Chain A
Amino acid sequence: MAKKLLLEKAHIEGIRHFDVYRKEGGYAAVETALKMDPAAIVEEVKKSGLRGRGGAGFATGLKWSFLAKPEGVPRYLVCNADESEPGTFKDRYLMEFLPHLLIEGLIISSFALGSNRTYIYIRGEYAWIVGILEQAIAEAKLHGFLGKNILGSGFDCEIYVQRGAGAYICGEETALIESLEGKRGNPRIKPPFPAIKGLWDCPTVVNNVETLAAVVPIINMGGEEYAKIGVGRSTGTKLLSACGNINKPGVYEIDMTISVEEFIYSDEYCGGIPNGKKLKACIPGGSSVPILPANLLLKTAKGETRYMNYESLSDGGFATGSMMGSGGFIVLDEDQCIVKHTYTLARFYRHESCGQCSPCREGTGWMEKILQKIDTGKGTIADIDLLWDIQRKIEGNTICPLGDAAAWPVAAAIRHFRDEFEWHVNNPTKCLTQNYGLAKYADALGLSA
């Protein structure tokens, strides 16, 4: 059984409440941290090798060390709980079951960064979680872990929950900041980066829920011990949310040494594919990352076993690999249609584009329309090439990474499943009632029969 650092206590009765959480050893990390020098906490986080769990995987300690500290200007920590990437629902689980773990992580991180007002920006649809978090905050405050002069350290901190109102783009950190300022969620043009000019033009750090929760075990066990878990630059544990065609969808905590095959087929995790169906494809890290056909998912192009960690999942680059992303693991079985699935994702990105820059605003809608056309048997071979050309012209040319996120799924689907796209074009009636089935190359491994 893999080591759990975050979800270990998730199922303890009443763990949502301060008393139970405290009895189980909660808030000990705050007691330790507030006796430390803030810089020493940043150092511990650096040593831990923790990488941002929001999608980009940027080293958290390093990011913290970039925070500008001009005299007399407040600094802010903002927790990114916008979680809107299709396939991703891990932060929700953590906040629903272990709200105090997040609050504890936030207090420590706020202290380390010098944030006296810390905001949790949560997606508007998670309305009921706002209450859970606010209760945890009130309890922590009641017990002196928040408010003025916490534990006599002289450090003041308040945490506020801010609800969004339905916009994926507000997960992008500068759009989130705009939204928190009461504006439209238009990403800012960088530089300046939030570490210099963020919320209300003050230096700001934005981190994902899971990243901030992971600070608790790092303080409890020390950065070096934390770094021993996992492999290479994938240290610690990672939450994955698994969905699609699997027997046991849900949120799992893994240490990053297990193989993709084990994750899909072992009963401890996804439990295999229902109804004896075969694995066709998988998007391993949330809808934005490239989809992989079964053969490239389980083994790298070099024929090595693929593991559930940052390096292994991206082995082969975009040509034959994918990314860890946000940990949203989406499994497609042999009955699923890649064209249709890609179409729903294209529709998602069109719907979520903020509309500020022309390649994303215009290109996402164009891709959606062409994919719908192909999906409904009206496409041509030229449409497939056009689709490729459009995604190529969006990628890298936009203000924020949503443009890339919209382009990559389309690119990967065509790259790996062009046969299936062409089959749709060549079988305009059949494709309405029947699916292409397993890709030829997905069969070869003879797995999971």
Chain B
Amino acid sequence: MVKFSDDKLKEVQSMIDRYPEGKQKSALIPLLHLAQEEFGGWLKPDTMDYVASLLTIDPIEAYEVATFYSMFNLKPVGKHVFEVCHTGPCMLNGSDNILDYIKSTLGIEVGQTTSDGMFTLKTVECLGACGYAPMMQMGMNYREHLTKERVDAIIDECRNEK
């Protein structure tokens, strides 16, 4: 069974307090974000059931939402997730080459995770960084103006992080 710590439960309550009485369902997306961060980087059915119970909604309402939004992972992912943008403007600035380079460096295809569980590679659509292309998202942050050298440096940085 998953359960938030007392501190996190306080945070949950403050999220719910942002909405008028009885509108606690509005906290669903913020809570799913929090749960994904807390419970292993992805949303297990148990996790979603737990979130639904905190908001007193039917579990299906949480599933419907979690499967709609692209930031929620419904399967386990690696420790670091590279989400490379490949929409028009990034494509104009060579996102295809960066994607190929990451694939060959990590030895995985889009949608896969390295066997050591370190890296997952995904493609995403425009992240609002078109002027700083090519780019990818990594956790809470953007990595912009990507070159092969920068990709190498980022991979090293991840590997050296304990």
Contact = CB atoms under 8 A, between A and B. Distances in A.
Q: Are any A and B Cβ atoms less than 8 Å apart in their complex?
A: yes
A86 B26 contact: no
A70 to B, nearest CB: 16
Given A162-B18, A287-B126, A347-B87, 9 more contacts: A88-B128, A124-B71, A125-B71, A128-B140, A165-B71, A287-B87, A344-B86, A347-B125, A348-B88
B126 A86 contact: yes
B155 interface: no
Interface stretch (A53-61, A238-246, A417-425): A238-246
Interface of B: 18, 20, 23, 25-30, 32-33, 55, 57, 61, 64-65, 68-72, 86-89, 91-93, 124-133, 137, 140-142
Interface in A323-348: 328, 330, 332, 336, 340-341, 344-345, 347-348
A165 B91 contact: no
Nearest to B139: A127
A251 B18 contact: no
Contact of B89 (A84, A128, A164, A244): A244
B74 to A, nearest CB: 12
Nearest to A127: B140
Contacts, number: 144
Interface string A169-194: 00000000001111111000000000
A210 B33 CA distance: 27
Given A117-B20, A165-B71, A200-B20, A242 B131 contact: yes
A128 B23 CA distance: 26
A163 B86 CA distance: 23
B69 A181 contact: no
Interface of A: 74, 83-89, 92, 117, 123-128, 160, 162-168, 179-185, 200, 241-245, 249-251, 287, 328, 330, 332, 336, 340-341, 344-345, 347-348, 351-352, 354
Contact of B130 (A165, A241, A336): A241
A183 B72 CA distance: 14
B29 A163 contact: yes
A127 B26 CA distance: 18
B131 A243 contact: yes
A268 B128 CA distance: 22
B18 to A, nearest CB: 4
A345 to B, nearest CB: 5
16 contacts: A74-B20, A85-B126, A87-B88, A89-B128, A117-B18, A124-B29, A127-B141, A165-B69, A182-B27, A182-B29, A243-B133, A245-B93, A287-B87, A336-B92, A345-B87, A348-B88
* Chain B interface, DSSP helix/strand/loop, else mixed: mixed
Contact of A88 (B32, B91, B130): B130
Contacts of B124: 166
Nearest to B24: A182
A86 B128 CA distance: 7
Closest 8 CB pairs between A and B?
A: A166-B70, A165-B69, A249-B131, A182-B28, A166-B71, A182-B25, A243-B130, A86-B126
Contact of B125 (A165, A328, A332, A348): A348
Contact of A348 (B20, B32, B87): B87
Contacts of A351: 70, 125
A89 B131 contact: yes
A86 B69 contact: no
Contact of B92 (A164, A200, A244): A244
Given A160-B18, A344-B87, A124 B128 contact: no
A181 B26 contact: yes
A341 B131 contact: no
Given A124-B69, A163-B29, A249-B132, A352 B137 contact: no
Contacts of A164: 29, 69
B89 A330 contact: yes
Contacts of A167: 68-70
B162 to A, nearest CB: 23
A348 B126 contact: yes
Given A163-B33, A181-B23, A341-B88, A86 B130 contact: yes
B29 A162 contact: yes
Given A128-B140, A249-B131, A336-B92, A165 B87 contact: no
Contacts of A352: 125
B133 A184 contact: no
A86 B88 contact: yes
Given A181-B23, A183-B65, A341 B91 contact: yes
B91 A344 contact: yes
Nearest to B130: A243
Given A166-B70, A200-B23, A330-B89, A184 B128 contact: no
> Of A125, A160, A330, which is in contact with the most chain B CB atoms at under 10 Å from its CB?
A125
Contacts of A330: 88-89, 92, 130
Contacts of A168: 125-126
Contacts of B27: 182
Contacts of A328: 130
A86 B87 contact: yes
Nearest to B91: A344
Contacts of A163: 29-30, 33
